[in-house]
Structure 1
Amino acid sequence: MTRRAGFLRRRSFPIFIACALEIGACAGNPPVEPGVPVLRVESFAGNGDTTITGGGLAPTVRVTRDGVPAAGVAVRFNVVAGEGEVARHLVSTGPDGAASTLWLLGPNAGVQRLVATVEAESVEFSGTARRPDDGTAYFARNDFAEYVAGQLPIIISAGHGGNLQPSQIPDRTFGTTVQDLNTEDLARRIAAELQRLTGQRPHLVISHLHRRKLDPNREIVEAAQGSVLAENAWFEYHAFIETASRAVTREHGGGFLLDVHGHGREIQRLELGYLLSSSDLNQPDAILDEPRFAASSSIRKMGEISTLPFSAIVRGDLGLGSLLVARGYPAVPSASDPAPGSAPYFTGGYTTVRHGSRDGGSVDAIQLEANREGVRDTAENRQRFAEAMAEAILEHLSVHSANAPAASSVVLAGTP
């Protein structure tokens, strides 16, 4: 066996990904009439590889006619066992006769299978999925995304703090391309504080691509703008979050996702997004407590579980915003600042929609938009805020969630 870079790997721990290369013609090719070019399709790379559940593999075929690489030939990739998915089902061969796709393995550990078909010929690929190891950092191809597996029912994600700007990915030409400065570091610090307080790690998912190249908090058309490399990174980033979501659901019955971002508004306050619009939050509590608001939010599951009214979860004294205010960080919505009024406000983005509980599932999600001054501007301020946020998350979950982790040293707001 050999080891190959180019798809999911893990760093700082022993690498387990085995990348067996098998080159050989398909058995059982039918007889060919004289004068008709002989087509062959063979597995060229990515057969027999191993990665984590939900991780990406790169099955690659080589197509030849009469032994010569065949360019422009359509290859269809289909998953036949394992509930995985492919980023692109139909791929044309290049000048070297090769064609590849991104194969995201399904949620269950074990051997999974994919078939690549060219005309009447086909070749089967196998891939083995295994569950992630706690504390291990796994990397997508080209290090464009990172997943650190955890034990807590908490997921921290950061999609807009990356720095990589590979020339192979064209700059995005529409949508926002400004980096959310220092949000990767902020997310890592929040994760570290949660571990310090509980003795266990949260799950952590990071996009390392600069927002000029990829915006994983948008649907794929705006996010990647036609770049295959960017599209692959988008798929792998969200597959990492889904792997984490399945883990917290399997081990805890549900969980909580904090999607970390940064805003550049003049108002220096935190914005917490629940997929509720400004007009929703501008309603009085009696209206916000109507079931339709919880059902349309990214914390739908929490609204079903909590014994408190929905308005109390979002902006009551024990809401996440109010718990942060009690620790010295102005936030909206909160008891002291219940609604944005006419001011601009981020309601939540693609990540909150896709991975929150609005459309089902047991993982609630909140988008954090952190102001710069006093929160993201210096390492000291980032550390201080991370400590406050970790405490607030744990206290919030202890009140409103059935999946709250135990904390050995959380200082509750207002406790001497």
Structure 2
Amino acid sequence: MGRPFSAAFALLFPALAALAPAAPDAPKPTDFVTVQKGTLPIIISAPHGGRKKVPDVPERVGTGLANFQTVRDENTAELVEKLVAEIEKSLEAKPWVVIARFERKYLDVNRSREQAYESDKAKPYYDAFHDPIAAACKAVKEKYGHGILLDIHGQSVYQGSICRGTQNLKTVKLLKDREGLAAIRGKNSVLGRMEKAGYKIMPPGDSEETAKEEPQFTGGHIVANYGSHTAFAIDAIQVELGTNLRARDQYATTAKDLADAIGAFYNAYLKDAKK
């Protein structure tokens, strides 16, 4: 049997073979997640705004899953990029950041591993998203003692509103114990500050303490897994931004206002954390 053409070509024309462009490296799972190590006790994640096709992974069909979703949370990745830039400008330091760039139709990292994907080939992409969040939580806890994780999502039910998701205050247990409800819905809380800026927050800041969060937006796997009721001990809030707040001509403004709100929260509740 003769030599393969490519091998024969390289032997006969070594100079030309050396000039031939090398085959591009196959994309790695980490190429599908944007990660930034931070210098602040602030972690920001965006699991559902990705646009990339995951190679060799079939689209999910969701057999047996409740509330199965594959749609993108439009412009959440772009909004978080703008949000991070605004935070860095105002606080002169970096938050920790994890942004999924893969389409939700292939895997949903806001679900437990058992429900997130249907092909084992998707596991490395799941890990590429969750490993840096876990590392960020551990680093923030070790350096500062406590911190906040804001998990950014989009919803279309209340198009002009922001829904809070803390599993009805479960995922912000330590913040509530340490600072009281004011840190969650008061004038210097993240969402309280957004409400003061004119945004409609659900539930509103002046609601009864027993007021429940919107049932479909109480917080998914990310806040449930990393919230302060767990060993990670990081207060976690799922922030569900309405469609209008994520529109192309609006999301930069939303990001700027949210950065200002995070800055106010930082100055009131995180600035004096141990370093």
TM-score, normalised to structure 1, is 0.55
Q: Does residue 256 in structure 1 map to residue 154 in structure 2?
A: no
| SS of residue in 1 equivalent to 2:198 | coil
Residues 13-412 of structure 1 correspond to what in structure 2 (within 5 A)?
141=29, 143-174=31-62, 175-225=68-118, 227-276=119-168, 297-306=170-179, 309-310=180-181, 312-336=182-206, 344-373=215-244, 375-378=245-248, 380-401=249-270
| SS of residue in 2 equivalent to 1:300 | helix
CA distance in 2, matches of 1:342, 1:384: 25
AA aligned opposite 1:366? I
CA distance in 1, matches of 2:161, 2:264: 20
Kept in 1, the 8 Å contact 2:150–2:236? The answer is yes
AA aligned opposite 1:168? D
AA aligned opposite 1:205? V
Aligned to 1:123: none
Change (3 A) 1:266 1:258: closer
- Number of positions where the alignment pairs a residue of Structure 1 with one of Structure 2: 245
Report how far residue 369 of structure 1 moved.
0.4
Report how far residue 221 of structure 1 moved.
2.1
**Alignment identity in percent?**
29
Report how far residue 334 of structure 1 moved.
2.8
CA RMSD of aligned residues (A): 2.5
User: Which structure is higher in RCO with an 8 Å CA cutoff and minimum separation 6?
Assistant: 2
Kept in 2, the 8 Å contact 1:271–1:368? The answer is yes
Kept in 2, the 8 Å contact 1:321–1:333? The answer is no
Change (3 A) 1:254 1:342: closer
Report how far residue 371 of structure 1 moved.
0.4
| SS of residue in 1 equivalent to 2:217 | coil
CA distance in 2, matches of 1:363, 1:170: 34
Kept in 2, the 8 Å contact 1:305–1:401? The answer is no
Change (3 A) 1:142 1:247: closer
Aligned to 1:96: none
Report how far residue 176 of structure 1 moved.
0.6
Task: Write 1 or 2 for the structure with the bigger share of helix.
Answer: 2
AA aligned opposite 1:145? V
| SS of residue in 2 equivalent to 1:239 | helix
| SS of residue in 1 equivalent to 2:132 | helix
Kept in 1, the 8 Å contact 2:76–2:152? The answer is yes
Kept in 1, the 8 Å contact 2:146–2:273? The answer is no
CA distance in 1, matches of 2:211, 2:58: 36
Q: Deviations over 1:344-392 (max 9, x none)?
A: 540001000111111233311110000011x1002x4111111111111
Kept in 2, the 8 Å contact 1:321–1:332? The answer is no
Task: Write 1 or 2 for the structure with the bigger share of strand.
Answer: 1
Report how far residue 6 of structure 1 moved.
5.9
| SS of residue in 1 equivalent to 2:126 | helix
Q: Deviations over 1:97-123 (max 9, x none)?
A: xxxxxxxxxxxxxxxxxxxxxxxxxxx
Change (3 A) 1:403 1:301: farther
CA distance in 2, matches of 1:238, 1:142: 11
| SS of residue in 2 equivalent to 1:195 | helix
Change (3 A) 1:249 1:403: farther
CA distance in 2, matches of 1:270, 1:156: 16
AA aligned opposite 1:389? L
| SS of residue in 2 equivalent to 1:242 | helix
CA distance in 1, matches of 2:255, 2:273: 18
TM-score, normalised to structure 2, is 0.81
Change (3 A) 1:317 1:264: same
Q: Deviations over 1:174-205 (max 9, x none)?
A: 12101100000111111111100011111110
| SS of residue in 2 equivalent to 1:299 | helix
Report how far residue 253 of structure 1 moved.
2.3
Q: Deviations over 1:135-188 (max 9, x none)?
A: xxxxx6362222111211111100000111235111010121011000001111
CA distance in 2, matches of 1:147, 1:179: 19
Q: Deviations over 1:300-337 (max 9, x none)?
A: 2212321xx33x33333333322101112111233256
CA distance in 2, matches of 1:234, 1:367: 19
Q: Which has the larger radius of gyration?
A: 1
Kept in 1, the 8 Å contact 2:58–2:106? The answer is yes
